[in-house]
Structure 1
Amino acid sequence: MKTPMLNFLVVTVAFLSLSSCGVDKSEVKERQKPNIIFIMADDHTSQAIGAYGSRLAKLNPTPTIDRLAKEGILFENAFCTNAICTPSRASIITGQYSQANGVLDLDGNLPADRQYLPIEMNKLGYQTAVMGKWHLKDAPEAFGYYKVFYNQGEYFNPVMREKGALDSVSNYKLYKKTGTFPGKRYEGHSSDVVTDASLNWLKNIRDKSKPFMLLHHFKAPHDMFEFAPRYKDYLEDVTIPEPASLWDNQNNGSIATKGINGSLMDTIGSSVGKRNVIRNMGQHMEIDPNLSDDEYKRQAYQEYLKRYLRCVKGVDDNVKRLFDYLEKEGLMDNTIIMYTGDQGFMLGEHDYIDKRWMYEEAMRMPFLVRYPKMIKAGTRTDAIVNNTDYAPTIIELAGGKTPSYMQGNSFSELLETGKEPESWQQSTYYRYWMHMAHKHNNPAHFGIRTKKYKLIFFYGEPYRDDLVHWKGKKKRPLFAMNTPAAWEFYDLEKDPKEMDNKYNDPAYAEIIQQLKKDLKEKRKSLNEEDAKYPNIQKVIEDNWDK
């Protein structure tokens, strides 16, 4: 192992040698900037990462990803601002909340002039590239290079469009239209194909004299959890641990999530078992509907988790392929490696599937960072960060300053010291806009989360009348399915699984009033109020003090 003095001498000799060869000193400094790889898996929740110590940790689902926690820092309180793919990705790229960046739901798009992270990194002399799932409709033209899926992309043999390529695919269906689109079909499972693309760019396309920022985005483990055939026997003979709330949801929820006297229990929140008659995981897993309710739920859960974790296994193995390349090329320790999901995911908790909720399992993002030149190995932090903070942090780690138009905050100081700065944010804001959409039927809501408490307001109104609510095979305008408004409050220190809604408990009245005040102030400061949506604003006003 080289001593610090020897390292200094090696760098000095190299610097003098380059100078004598006529290489500009600023160019040498440029080469010393850290590379950055931002790895994101779709719907990879913290419960399915071993380092987070959930009920699934004993299955050792992510040995490679866990290395980032062992050799770097793990964020216990990293959250998304909207637990749905497109808005979350927009917040990551822009450093802004949904109303500021204009991407409120899955129909949102992000044109090149608002792709702020690569724009700022280009200014700092970085090569920028994005591979895999983009899901923001407009091509990622602000990046120096891209090879991305259309929309969600296919699990197998995906079509990818590449910057500068002239390939095209005929008879390809995109956004309900069929035609000829730029791109090429690549054989194999998407997790392997995306990693092939990143490795090819790292090896053969990038300018190796310059620092790079690579966004490596997996499709997996997004539904419908189509894993590579090589994993078909993985966990086959294992019984996956179940969350207690799969069977007994106790006092979680409210009339907003259950309906008056439970009248909407069969409609709101897609389920594992038969509870939701519109969409449940047993239907997707093709479980025999003639089984008893309990056996149907049990079999659906086991099949669901095994398919999900097989996709996770493919992600983890492909992350290892990236690590192997970095180590072989001597880049591992000069590369800041970040790993996250675009949001969390419900793995049967509260008998829910999918994401969208402000409940912990959906709102929490895994977030791990390795960079041994700055971060002490084995660090954990409970500092609150969210996905609008990622772009400012990356920019500052690259030597820049957070642009004034970004709403997020850089936590680069926290990475360096391992300690939460004294003035650091003590809460985070969340909002889900897509009221009762996509047969998952989650009511629209917003709220605030601190380290100790969570306050959620379900306002039960759409912001758009052109979305639709599905009932069986028929669809009707979304506004025909408004749901009851209600508040929920959870004491996360005493009730980390959110099993007891304490909103009506007088013992918490003062705390709830303070949280409402903080929530109102945060909504105003973030441009997240509802002046443009009078129907929503009326519900807020009518129910704020109830």
Structure 2
Amino acid sequence: MLKSQILFLFTLSILFGCKQTEKTKETRPNILFIMSDDHAYQAISAYGSELLQTPNIDRIADEGMLFTNACVSNSICAPSRATILTGKHTHINGKIDNLMPFDTTQVTFPQIFQANGYQTAMFGKLHFGNNPKGADEFMILPGQGYYLNPDFDTPRGDTTIMGYVTDVITDLTLNWLKEDRDPDKPFMMMYMHKAPHRPWWPRPDKFAEFTKKQFPEPETLFDDYQNRGTAAKTAEMNLLTHMMYSHDSKIRPELLEKMGDKVTPKVEEFENGFYGPFGRATDEQKAQYNVVLDSINDYFEQHWPMMTEEEKMRWKYQRYMQDYLACISSVDDNVGRVLDYLDESGLAENTIVVYTSDQGFYLGDHGWFDKRFIYDESFKTPLMVRWPDKVAAGTVENEMVQNLDFAQTLLEAAGISAPSDMQGESLMPLLTGHKEQWDREAVYYHYYEYPSVHMVKRHYGIVTKEYKLVHFYYDIDEWELYDRLDDPNEMNNVYDDPAYADVVKELQIKLTELRSKYKDSPELDSLFIQKYNDMQVEKGNDFW
């Protein structure tokens, strides 16, 4: 009898232990980290966009939390991604710009997930390190990748997949979720789009649809930069004078040559800027594109020489928006495909879904395209997080959060301890309704890639909800201060306004403290300048 009781209790303890293990496994959340490239918050309807409806991306915000003050620590592609992966500022992980090498000794958060029993996968654009650490499975676009019939680096070698890149990346993601995922393990999936990165080649049907549309202009489209310093006035990202006719607006090189001096202002083109992307299309794909390309080029040939400078600016803006927003429309459609599968499969109930971008982007704001500046349109980035039963649906958060925080947030959500040398702060208090535990008042920003494409000068700064203090350095020594509440378009530098003297003094002290906290310094500035100059000498004309 005693032996039977002991056997019964032993069996019960084993079953109870198994049940606890299963329960633990079931409650560890899956992670779906979705990132697009250069996706401006101004082009997401959840942020109030008048440009485009993005119903599928909006679902994440509607069913979770929308961050209105999410930002980056360095507004350029590869450095932002390095910060996201490591939870460290770029001067720590080495990837200060698109040229400097990443410090491969750095531990990335996918490695930590992998070491803690998660199945990990990465599909799409990483931009650097095409053999990503910590990914059980990956298919990564080499470098910037192509929109049409893209190449991929995989653990099994290189491959080319026919189709439109946004659709292809989604197909790969869904195939892994449906066929290759281990259902007995939680997963950490990074689903990363190339779109809407320049040169903005939409899928043929979207190309035809969006070229028929007209979009509202930003109120700062004709900004003259009069109340800003040297940096804004000398940047080379103006739609009229720097956006390329062939590479960007889809004017065939042959037509530009034919029109000659009738095409003004003169803009230097990238070599193969048109046929590099378009040349990858099959004959069938080219036939679909040519219908729209013929229409654009015919209009340009007939009307461009007679247009005023203002009309030219407006035409270039519309061409830009037509292609850029068409690319985003495909992203939204495909995000919807993945969200639908999560719902249909039941995975949605225990999956954290994050949508973000590697930074913001100028959509004609201040007359610009591209990013790089600490000004809001490139500094701020979309961020929304859905986590059923943990994050209240439809919540909006305006605290200052950064891509620096993503790694620590996801690790804490999974119950994994973050390395002590990560520099971000977990967003869990904000996500789970414990805002009283959040105490950040300001974030730190530092941009390095100068002199280079777009000629945005080196600068660092501190940003609070109320103010933005910026120091431009290297070949100039200028300060700017913006009142983010009274001047949301950042049109007026009030650094020398006596009414803001106390604000300047306080923020300069806090900026010095932040630089110290994050282990940045004037000595590091000088070191990176020297390394950058050495690379320019070494690479010569190939540097850019």
Q: Settle same-fold status: TM greater than 0.5.
A: yes
Matched, 1:502 2:477: no
Amino acid at match of 2:204: P
Match of 1:323 in 2: 339
Amino acid at match of 1:272: L
- CA–CA distance in structure 2, aligned partners of residues 17 and 183 of structure 1: 52
**Offset at residue 17 of structure 1 (A):** 12
Amino acid at match of 1:330: G
SS in 2 for 1:232: helix
Q: Which has the larger radius of gyration?
A: 2
**Offset at residue 448 of structure 1 (A):** 0.7
**Offset at residue 111 of structure 1 (A):** 6.1
Q: Is the 8 A contact 1:86 1:108 kept in 2?
A: no
SS in 1 for 2:456: coil
Listed as ranges, the matches of 1:63-462 within 5 Å are 63-110=55-102, 113-163=105-155, 165=156, 182-249=157-224, 251-258=226-233, 264=234, 268-274=235-241, 279-282=242-245, 284-285=248-249, 288-289=263-264, 290=305, 291-417=307-433, 420-438=435-453, 440-459=454-473, 461=474
Deviates more, 1:340-349 or 1:287-296: 287-296
The normalised TM-score by structure 1 is: 0.82
Match of 1:25 in 2: 20
RMSD: 2.3
- CA–CA distance in structure 2, aligned partners of residues 41 and 19 of structure 1: 46
Indicate how the Cα distance of structure 1 residues 21 and 427 shifts in structure 2: closer, same or farther if over 3 A, else same. closer
- CA–CA distance in structure 1, aligned partners of residues 216 and 100 of structure 2: 37
Q: Is the 8 A contact 1:40 1:342 kept in 2?
A: yes
Q: Percent identity?
A: 39
Listed as ranges, the matches of 1:515-526 within 5 Å are 515-526=507-518
Indicate how the Cα distance of structure 1 residues 535 and 107 shifts in structure 2: closer, same or farther if over 3 A, else same. closer
Amino acid at match of 1:107: L
Amino acid at match of 1:245: T
- CA–CA distance in structure 2, aligned partners of residues 111 and 285 of structure 1: 37
CA displacement 1:151-179 (0-9 Å, x = unmatched): 1111111111122x1xxxxxxxxxxxxxx
Amino acid at match of 1:46: Y
CA displacement 1:475-510 (0-9 Å, x = unmatched): xxxxxxx4x321111101101111111111000011
- CA–CA distance in structure 2, aligned partners of residues 30 and 132 of structure 1: 28
- CA–CA distance in structure 1, aligned partners of residues 44 and 165 of structure 2: 20
Indicate how the Cα distance of structure 1 residues 202 and 83 shifts in structure 2: closer, same or farther if over 3 A, else same. same
CA displacement 1:389-424 (0-9 Å, x = unmatched): 00000000001122201001101121011x533442
Deviates more, 1:241-250 or 1:46-55: 241-250
CA displacement 1:93-112 (0-9 Å, x = unmatched): 00000111111110244466
Count of residue pairs brought into register by the alignment: 467
SS in 1 for 2:399: strand
- CA–CA distance in structure 2, aligned partners of residues 347 and 444 of structure 1: 22
Q: Is the 8 A contact 2:362 2:370 kept in 1?
A: yes
**Offset at residue 337 of structure 1 (A):** 0.3
**Offset at residue 282 of structure 1 (A):** 4.9
Amino acid at match of 1:448: I
**Offset at residue 244 of structure 1 (A):** 1.3
**Offset at residue 228 of structure 1 (A):** 0.8
Amino acid at match of 1:432: Y
Amino acid at match of 1:242: E
Deviates more, 1:319-328 or 1:299-308: 319-328
- CA–CA distance in structure 1, aligned partners of residues 245 and 310 of structure 2: 11
Q: Is the 8 A contact 2:95 2:103 kept in 1?
A: no
| Structure 1 unaligned blocks of 5 or more | 1-15, 166-181, 259-263, 462-481, 539-546
- CA–CA distance in structure 1, aligned partners of residues 13 and 213 of structure 2: 57
**Offset at residue 298 of structure 1 (A):** 0.5
Q: Is the 8 A contact 1:281 1:300 kept in 2?
A: no
Q: Is the 8 A contact 2:110 2:133 kept in 1?
A: no
Listed as ranges, the matches of 1:34-49 within 5 Å are 34-49=29-44
Name the structure where helix makes up a greater proportion of residues: 2
Indicate how the Cα distance of structure 1 residues 19 and 365 shifts in structure 2: closer, same or farther if over 3 A, else same. farther
Name the structure where strand makes up a greater proportion of residues: 1
Q: Is the 8 A contact 1:113 1:142 kept in 2?
A: no
SS in 2 for 1:455: strand
- CA–CA distance in structure 1, aligned partners of residues 506 and 358 of structure 2: 30
CA displacement 1:42-91 (0-9 Å, x = unmatched): 000100000111342xx31x110011111110000100000100000000
SS in 1 for 2:398: strand
Indicate how the Cα distance of structure 1 residues 223 and 507 shifts in structure 2: closer, same or farther if over 3 A, else same. same
- CA–CA distance in structure 2, aligned partners of residues 54 and 489 of structure 1: 27
Amino acid at match of 1:153: G
Q: Is the 8 A contact 1:249 1:499 kept in 2?
A: no
Amino acid at match of 1:441: M
Indicate how the Cα distance of structure 1 residues 535 and 128 shifts in structure 2: closer, same or farther if over 3 A, else same. closer
SS in 1 for 2:133: coil
Q: Is the 8 A contact 2:210 2:323 kept in 1?
A: no
SS in 1 for 2:239: coil
SS in 1 for 2:210: coil
CA displacement 1:232-268 (0-9 Å, x = unmatched): 233333321111111134644213332xxxxx4xxx2
Q: Is the 8 A contact 2:130 2:142 kept in 1?
A: no
Deviates more, 1:200-209 or 1:389-398: 200-209
- CA–CA distance in structure 1, aligned partners of residues 343 and 97 of structure 2: 39
- CA–CA distance in structure 2, aligned partners of residues 222 and 536 of structure 1: 27
Q: Is the 8 A contact 2:66 2:385 kept in 1?
A: yes
Match of 1:168 in 2: none
**Offset at residue 135 of structure 1 (A):** 1.2
Q: Is the 8 A contact 1:115 1:142 kept in 2?
A: no
Amino acid at match of 1:25: Q
